[in-house]
């Protein structure tokens, strides 16, 4: 076999590194639940890829000046083609003023997302299975599994996403601290990308009904943006508001994610 020259070998290594870097540079394009809005697209991270969501933060100001901070570090791994496994640990801090505050873990969230098809004339479809496991002072009193259907369709100048989710299980007992869990959720989002700036802007409208029996449907609206800061790092931020109910709280989101690939070798 002919020997490869040092120049050719260097060129091959550079091409490989460039390909991996190019894949990482598209992280701003893939929207995740909560980064920066609730609605997500139908695509999983690439096979053997890893994404560490280092600091996804949500700040909410409720009626009466009560501030609630939520931080949920997450790790996502592309375990199979078009399939990702994700584990999140939500932490909650509530400040009611006058030195009154509470802090605690709000369960452990485990999810599996599978992209069913690549978008053609038909939209890309995805399905995600989640389970919120009891843990911490703000965690549920039982495990709550949920199932989400996702559709993404690209049009000239924009993408449209539709999500629908249902959570199984009995309503929590009176006073049980279940955070960020709805009986059902349905919503749509539209986003536009600016590839030369490595940036995406998006907006959403979401309806959901809390787990408690007899609860009214709540409507939320939000806007946000994601930006590729470096080939490995993407940052995001958003703002939203509850449009219905007595407590029409404002909320802010901010986060950063580090994407890289594992050195696995397949046949």
Half-sphere exposure of 95 (CA within 13 A, CB side): 10
Residue with tokens 């986003």: 191
Residue 52 pLDDT exceeds 80: yes
Residue with tokens 């931020």: 237
CATH fold of 6-261 reads Porin (2.40.160)
Mean pLDDT of 146-166: 97
Cα–Cα distance between 34 and 24 in angstroms, integer? 20
Assess contact for 30 and 61: CB atoms under 8 A: no
Q: What residue ranges do the domains of the chain occupy?
A: 6-261
Q: What is the mean pLDDT of the chain?
A: 85
Q: Which of 53, 100, 99, 93 is nearest to 77 (CA)?
A: 53
Handedness of CA 29, 164, 203, 69 (dihedral sign): negative
pLDDT confidence of residue 37: 92
Residue with tokens 């709540």: 218
Handedness of CA 245, 207, 74, 158 (dihedral sign): negative
Cα–Cα distance between 94 and 169 in angstroms, integer? 26
Omega within 30 of 0 (cis) for the link into 36: yes
Assess contact for 213 and 173: CB atoms under 8 A: no
Q: Which of 100, 107, 156 is nearest to 131 (CA)?
A: 107
Mean pLDDT of 254-263: 87
Cα–Cα distance between 24 and 12 in angstroms, integer? 19
Question: With pLDDT > 90 as the criterion, what percentage of the chain qualifies?
Answer: 54
**From the CB of residue 92, how many other CB atoms can be counted at a distance below 10 Å?**
23
Provide the 8-state DSSP code for 196: G
Predicted structure pTM score: 0.84
Cα–Cα distance between 16 and 43 in angstroms, integer? 23
Assess contact for 7 and 15: CB atoms under 8 A: no
Handedness of CA 70, 41, 205, 256 (dihedral sign): positive
Residue 108: which region, alpha, beta or left (left: phi > 0; alpha: psi -120 to 50)?
beta
Which secondary-structure segment (H or E) carries 245? none
Assess contact for 214 and 201: CB atoms under 8 A: no
Q: Which residue has the higher pLDDT, 10 or 199?
A: 199
Digit-coded pLDDT (tens) for 169-218: 988 775 555 556 889 999 999 999 998 899 999 999 999 998 887 788 99
Tallying the residues shown for the chain, one arrives at 267
Distance of CA 33 to the CA centre of its chain: 3
């Amino acid at each position: 076999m002919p020997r490869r020259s040092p120049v050719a070998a260097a060129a091959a290594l550079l091409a490989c590194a460039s390909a991996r870097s190019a894949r990482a540079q598209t992280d701003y394009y893939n929207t995740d639940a909560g980064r920066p809005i609730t609605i997500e697209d139908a695509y999983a991270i690439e096979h053997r890829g890893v994404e560490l969501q280092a600091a996804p933060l949500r700040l909410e100001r409720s009626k009466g000046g009560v501030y609630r901070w939520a931080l949920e570090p997450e790790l996502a791994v592309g375990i199979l083609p078009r399939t990702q496994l994700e584990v999140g640990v939500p932490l909650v801090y509530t400040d009611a003023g006058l030195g009154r505050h509470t802090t605690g873990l709000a369960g452990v969230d485990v999810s599996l997302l599978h992209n069913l098809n690549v978008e053609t004339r038909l939209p890309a479809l995805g399905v995600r299975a989640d389970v919120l496991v009891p843990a911490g002072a703000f965690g549920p009193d039982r495990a709550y599994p949920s199932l989400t259907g996702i559709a993404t369709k690209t049009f000239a100048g924009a993408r449209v996403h539709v999500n629908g989710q249902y959570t199984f299980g009995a309503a929590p007992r009176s006073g049980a601290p279940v955070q960020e869990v709805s009986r059902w959720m349905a919503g749509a989002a539209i986003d536009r990308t600016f590839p030369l700036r490595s940036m995406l802007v998006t907006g959403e409208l979401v309806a959901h009904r809390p787990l408690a029996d007899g609860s009214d449907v709540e409507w939320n609206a939000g806007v946000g943006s994601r930006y590729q800061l470096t080939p490995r790092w993407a940052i995001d931020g958003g703002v939203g508001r509850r449009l219905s109910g007595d407590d029409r709280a404002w909320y802010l989101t901010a986060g950063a994610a580090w994407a890289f690939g594992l050195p696995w070798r397949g046949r």
